[in-house]
């Protein structure tokens, strides 16, 4: 397994996916709650979506409230506060391509974490929620593994 491209821990992390409505806001919240003061964390999408109520419900099960999250595109985030991130973690192919384009003018590392989009899950409410929980759990495991040294460094 390859080592992370950068030896020092990132200071500012951007999670990116297609619509900034499910996966990237989940990941943003998970990392913010893990390191509330050590990292600056945001999320964005290639296109603007609507915050998904199943994502809100699954995060609430963990005691994390993302109901106030406003989906934002890369361009809106850039206009609002600039794209000053040293690590962009992409969760969908289209977001990965967009992030790689941005590295032409940004000095940011890009990591691709292919993450299933749970919005296509079928079945009853509980079955759909389970698909979102699986995505959330997968993100949590990746975040713990990737950022395990941040807490020690900032401690």
Which CATH number do you get for residue 71? Answer: 3.40.50.2300
| pLDDT value of residue 151 | 54
| pLDDT value of residue 155 | 43
Does residue 2 lie in a domain region?
no
**d(C-alpha 46, C-alpha 146), whole Å:** 23
- The answer to whether the beta carbons of residues 23 and 96 sit under 8 Å apart is no
Q: Give the residue numbers spanning the domain of 112.
A: 12-148
β-bridge partners, 47: none
30-86 pLDDT, tens digit per residue, is 999 998 888 999 999 999 999 999 999 999 999 999 999 999 999 998 887 778 899
As for how many domains the chain has, the answer is: 1
Does residue 134 lie in a domain region?
yes
pTM of the prediction?
Answer: 0.89
């Amino acid at each position: 397994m390859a080592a992370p491209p950068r030896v020092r821990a990132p200071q500012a992390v951007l999670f990116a996916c297609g619509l900034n409505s499910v996966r990237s806001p989940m990941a943003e919240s998970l990392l913010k709650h893990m390191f509330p003061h050590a990292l600056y964390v945001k999320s964005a999408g290639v296109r603007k979506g609507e915050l998904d109520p199943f994502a809100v419900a699954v995060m609430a099960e963990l005691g994390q409230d993302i109901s106030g999250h406003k989906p934002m595109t890369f361009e809106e985030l850039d206009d609002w506060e600039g794209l000053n991130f040293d690590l962009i973690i992409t969760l969908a192919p289209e977001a990965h391509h967009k992030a790689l384009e941005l590295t032409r003018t940004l000095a940011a590392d890009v990591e691709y974490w292919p993450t299933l989009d749970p919005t296509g899950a079928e079945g009853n409410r509980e079955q759909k929620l389970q698909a979102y929980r699986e995505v959330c759990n997968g993100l949590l495991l990746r975040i713990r593994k990737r950022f395990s040294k941040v807490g020690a460094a900032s401690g």
